[in-house]
């Protein structure tokens, strides 16, 4: 029985994210900024992928007169741009980070931070999977309401990923005494 390619892609993507996070050496002493930049770069890469996918949805909706779906794409572009900007201008990525003590995290705190990052990245992986389903639905469904609803669900997931990532600095601040 053949499997749906998107069903195979999700576990592979999640394992890839897990490997990426484990490669961060658990935010060990002296490695935090390097690890943090790797997380931020992965978030920017994934947001760029989402942008590319939604550009295709936007083009399709424009060419087929699906105004509501096109408007939904415009809103999604703003959220995707926002998460990319959040990652690019992350507080910990600045030359004078206020999180200098972060390398002194306990193993328990390091694990919490890695799991927090993994959750953010998994939300983006799931959003990518969902937009791939939306792209497939463009070929099979002519119902603009259904397509717009699907886009809205993806938008919600991207928004959750963005909010989760934003919590990261508060999370780090809670683990580090200033």
- Per-10-residue mean pLDDT, the chain, length 178: 52 59 55 77 93 95 94 95 88 54 66 85 94 92 89 96 87 59
Tell me how far apart the alpha carbons of residues 58 and 170 are, in angstroms, rounded to a whole number: 35
Write down the pLDDT at residue 9.
Answer: 56
The answer to whether the CB of 175 falls within 8 A of the CB of 112 is yes
Q: Is the alpha carbon torsion for 145, 146, 151, 157 positive or negative?
A: positive
For residue 138, count CB atoms less than 10 angstroms from its CB and return exposed for 0-12, middle for 13-18, buried for 19 or more: middle
Neighbours of 53 (CB within 10 A): 20
The answer to whether the CB of 28 falls within 8 A of the CB of 110 is yes
| Alpha-carbon dihedral 165, 166, 171, 177, rounded to 10 degrees | 130
Residue 174: CA atoms inside 13 Å, Cβ hemisphere, count? Answer: 9
Write down the pLDDT at residue 49.
Answer: 95
């Amino acid at each position: 029985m053949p499997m749906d390619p998107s069903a195979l892609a999700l576990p592979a993507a999640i394992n890839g994210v897990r490997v990426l996070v484990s490669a961060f050496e658990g935010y060990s002493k002296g490695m935090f900024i390097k690890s943090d930049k790797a997380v931020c770069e992965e978030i920017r890469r994934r947001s760029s992928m989402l942008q590319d996918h939604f550009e295709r949805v936007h083009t399709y909706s424009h060419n087929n007169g699906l105004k509501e779906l096109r408007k939904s794409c415009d809103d999604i572009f703003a959220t995707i741009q926002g998460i990319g900007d959040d990652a690019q201008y992350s507080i910990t990525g600045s030359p004078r980070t206020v999180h200098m003590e972060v390398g002194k995290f306990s193993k328990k705190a390091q694990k919490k931070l890695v799991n927090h990052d993994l959750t953010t990245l998994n939300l983006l992986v799931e959003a990518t999977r969902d937009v791939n389903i939306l792209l497939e639905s463009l070929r099979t469904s002519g119902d603009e309401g259904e397509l717009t609803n699907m886009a809205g669900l993806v938008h919600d997931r991207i928004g959750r990923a963005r909010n989760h990532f934003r919590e990261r600095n508060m999370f780090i601040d809670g683990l580090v005494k200033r």
